[in-house]
Structure 1
Amino acid sequence: MGGGPSTLLDKPWKALPKNNQESLHFMKWYKPRNKEASHLRILLHGPVGAGKSSFINSVDSVLQSRVTGRALTDATSGGSFTKEYKTYKISNGPDTFYSFVFNDIMGLEQKANNGVHVEDIKLALRGHVRDGYKFNSHPLTEGDPSYNPSPKLDDRVHILVSVIPADSVSLISDEVIKKMREVRLAASAMGIPQVAILTKVDKACAEAKQDIRNVYKSRYLDEQVNTFSELLGLQANCIFLVKNYAKENDTQDDTDALILCALRQMINYGEDFLNDL
């Protein structure tokens, strides 16, 4: 675990929301200004066990003010626990939903034919993958019932989020990084904005575990952000630190603030993309 004596900076390098209620109000009333889009679609990708499904659950938990677990996770699985392409909507009151949705995908693995295929992620970015598609040993092809030949704007991805555990940034294999970069380049060619989240910050840094408010003061986590920035070619100011809800039975304001900070930027960037179309 990173961290130790004199590992905290005097000032945080990223500001968190001063008032979670303002962020929650923004989420509640957000609607895409582009009338062709009824929602903003957020796609999460990254290696097996990075915390993609847990992040969806954590966002749901923040917005429901209670810990939830709709996206199934597995703490002991050696492979990806997510087996199919699924859209997650989050309740915003009786019979209504927030105007952003999440898509979770199978995790990336080191071996070429293991985990999700890069080509499947590229197809998902363009909106060609239907809900319920089961990832398998070969990529989705035209003519398959799960292939959407005529995607609408709602079907396409509006922001791509790379998810990596903060406690193993330097341990990610070159093969997985290569796959993630290939996905990033494909998204860039489509004009899709991108951010990244580093999860499990409490496992990576002793100061963060002691007080989650220390995350953006941690020298060690700052180093992990810079390392990941160099590996993936993503600007450091587009990389966010989060702690997913895993052991807690109740939500906590400081953990919520980290999640809301990342989510707000995802929506801002995705909204800019929709407005530029």
Structure 2
Amino acid sequence: MSVFKMNSKLTDEQQTAICSQLGNVKLNLLYKASIHGFTGEAFHKHCDKKSPTVSVGYNKSGRVFGGYTSQPFSQFGGFVKDDEAFVFSFSGERLNKYSVNNSSYAVRMTKNSGPNFGDTLILVHKDEQKVYSNQSSFTGYLYTKYYTFTAEKMHGNDLDLTDCEVYQVEECLQFENPWRTVTWTSEEKEKLMERIKSYKPSISSVSEARVLLVGQVGAGKSSFFNSFKSIFKGRVSGQAINGTCSTSVTSQFRTFIVKPEHEEKPLPLILCDIMGLEAKEGEGFHVDDITNIVSGHTPDTYQFSPSGPLHSEAQGFCKNPELKDKIHCVTYVVDASTISIMPQNMEDKLKAIRKKVNLHRIPQLVLLTKIDEACPLVKKDVTNVYKSKYIKKLAASRFGVPLSFLVPVKNYSEEQELDMNIDILLLRAVDQILHLVNDFFDEHRD
């Protein structure tokens, strides 16, 4: 008996983008219409009673689109409720996600068709090599769209399928051995705290490391500072304002120090916060401001303007900055739970900033925040972070920096008490930042 080997048409990047919406999972191919047949019968034979699933259509125009449901397929003919369902399309490797509008009509179980997402998107429609897409503008029950998308965004108005695939979503096994070794003990936490407190720059003219935090609105820049400060205060505390709104809470260039509880001397570290990056052109932090900041020209409390960068004649502009005034390491704060759906404009802004920072030969690090929201394995226990295949794959797939320069952390958000394991991740991140600062100083010795 011959066995067909089914090869997925999804690229690794596309699979990663889909899985990023679902957690620490992998996709197992169940049904491939070009092998099993473009019929409802073939689809149901291989996919009924299987869940969760991702269904993918491919058309002659090269578009890739489909949907996810947590509910098992069947042939009973009615609608099935699914709060988690969504449909999607790809623009290259970038995922466009459209959540269900009315979860009671998320999926319909039709006998003579393939995957049916609320009678709004149907693959292998009526036993044909076709897509059905409800683009009617009429109102009324018969024309209700339970997912909102445009034909151009979804499939480019090309309804001829070249293939249809259905994947079962399976929980990914964790690594048997962590991809980084961490000692999760109170002794390790104390050792890291002491190393940071006793840090001394390797160049005599500088007494403190200056580190710039850069990130999209809501990524967790201010939360990172507050979380790090909390460790040395011995309680969850806040200083830099953070929030969850869609526009930047930070509007000024601010420098923050951390003074350990019951100690007069602050840590030899200054964390610099800027206005959050926004995807829309003309909003949020202006990319050209980065040169003034890293060069030490920008004064504390400088009010950012999206319309243009700081000018050399502006009040407070530091015309002759010394090495101690400059930025010694740039740290990008990135939300791990939304990397795969990061807007192209945002990615372009980050690349533009990295390019400008590279010209100054300043070391750069990426902090992956909200790792517990990105991976259920980590949500269950933060010490699983370096056992998570998903976090490692996610970290390696979207940035042009070595994996050793990507550091996952969890900020304090809902917690009211300190957690030793969260503290260790945060302290390890700052410890690595300080190592990079010394690398910078090594290039600036007299």
TM bucket, shorter chain: over 0.9
Question: For each residue in 1:114-153, what CA deviation from the matched residue of structure 2 results, as whole angstroms up to 9, or x when unmatched?
Answer: 1101111221011110001011132111111132111111
Choose the corresponding residue for 1:195, options 360, 365, 375.
Answer: 365
Question: For each residue in 1:197-230, what CA deviation from the matched residue of structure 2 results, as whole angstroms up to 9, or x when unmatched?
Answer: 110011111111110101111111112101222x
Matched, 1:168 2:189: no
Distance 2:354 2:234 in 1: 33
Choose the corresponding residue for 1:101, options 270, 277, 288.
Answer: 270
Distance 2:429 2:358 in 1: 20
Q: Hey, what does 2:174 align to over in structure 1?
A: 8
CA gap 1:107/1:247 in 2 versus in 1, 3 angstroms: same
Alpha-carbon deviation of 1:95? 2.5
Q: TM-score, normalised by structure 2?
A: 0.60
CA gap 1:143/1:276 in 2 versus in 1, 3 angstroms: same
Choose the corresponding residue for 1:117, options 286, 289, 313.
Answer: 286
Distance 2:381 2:373 in 1: 12
Distance 2:232 2:181 in 1: 21
Range moving further from structure 2, 51-60 or 146-155: 146-155
CA gap 1:165/1:271 in 2 versus in 1, 3 angstroms: same
Give the alignment of 1:128-277 within 5 angstroms: 128-136=297-305, 137-229=307-399, 233-277=400-444
Question: For each residue in 1:12-61, what CA deviation from the matched residue of structure 2 results, as whole angstroms up to 9, or x when unmatched?
Answer: 11222451111111011111121111200010101111100000111111
CA contact (8 A) 1:31 1:39 kept: yes
Counterpart secondary structure, 2:288: helix
Alpha-carbon deviation of 1:265? 0.6
Counterpart secondary structure, 2:398: helix
Distance 1:95 1:255 in 2: 26
Distance 2:216 2:173 in 1: 28
Question: For each residue in 1:76-101, what CA deviation from the matched residue of structure 2 results, as whole angstroms up to 9, or x when unmatched?
Answer: x1101101001000004533111111
Distance 2:180 2:283 in 1: 36
CA contact (8 A) 1:80 1:115 kept: yes
Matched, 1:24 2:45: no
Q: TM-score, normalised by structure 1?
A: 0.95
Which has a greater percent of helix? 1
CA contact (8 A) 1:7 1:220 kept: no
Counterpart secondary structure, 1:164: strand
AA at the equivalent of 2:296: G
Distance 1:121 1:39 in 2: 20
Distance 2:199 2:402 in 1: 26
Q: Hey, what does 2:74 align to over in structure 1?
A: none
Q: Hey, what does 1:91 align to over in structure 2?
A: 259
Choose the corresponding residue for 2:210, options 41, 46, 54.
Answer: 41
Distance 1:160 1:64 in 2: 25
Counterpart secondary structure, 2:407: strand
Give 5+ residue unaligned stretches, structure 1.
none
Distance 2:295 2:183 in 1: 33
Which stretches of structure 1, 4 residues or more, deviate above 3 A after TM superposition? Answer: none
AA at the equivalent of 1:249: Q
CA contact (8 A) 1:126 1:151 kept: yes
Alpha-carbon deviation of 1:275? 2.6
CA gap 1:249/1:82 in 2 versus in 1, 3 angstroms: same
AA at the equivalent of 1:271: N
Counterpart secondary structure, 1:198: strand
AA at the equivalent of 1:6: C
Q: Greater relative contact order (Cα 8 A, min sep 6): structure 1 or 2?
A: 1
CA contact (8 A) 2:221 2:333 kept: yes
Alpha-carbon deviation of 1:6? 3.5
Range moving further from structure 2, 32-41 or 81-90: 32-41
CA contact (8 A) 2:290 2:356 kept: no
CA contact (8 A) 1:170 1:227 kept: no
